[in-house]
């Protein structure tokens, strides 16, 4: 399972796989994504999640 796209709408980021199936959603501002990670800003924190939506890094 890999991230195919991430779309930000009204402060909510929806993450989809390569077939367009929703993997997970998070609130915040989208900073970027790769096939294996999603990076967002929530308030003053920058957070990185894996393709399953599990928090990997927070700064």
Q: Please, what is the average pLDDT of the chain?
A: 96
Count the domains in the chain.
1
**Quick check: is 11 in a domain?**
yes
**Quick check: is 57 in a domain?**
no
Residue 59 CA to residue 56 CA, distance in Å, equals 10
**Quick check: is 26 in a domain?**
yes
Query: Which residue(s) pair with 32 in the sheet?
Result: 39
Determine the pLDDT at residue 48.
98
Q: How confident is the model at residue 1 (pLDDT cuts 50, 70, 90)?
A: confident
Transcribe 7-54 into DSSP letters: EEETTEEEEE-TTS-EEEEEESEEEEE-SSEEEEEETTEEEEEETTS-
**Quick check: is 37 in a domain?**
yes
**Quick check: is 16 in a domain?**
yes
Determine the pLDDT at residue 24.
97
**Quick check: is 46 in a domain?**
yes
Rounded to two decimals, what is the model's pTM?
0.92
| Parent domain of 35 | 5-52
């Amino acid at each position: 399972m890999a991230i195919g796209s991430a779309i930000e709408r009204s402060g909510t980021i929806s993450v989809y796989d390569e077939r367009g199936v929703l993997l997970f959603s998070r609130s915040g501002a989208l900073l970027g994504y790769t096939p294996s990670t999603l990076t967002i800003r929530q308030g003053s924190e920058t957070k990185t999640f894996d393709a399953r939506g599990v928090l990997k890094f927070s700064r």
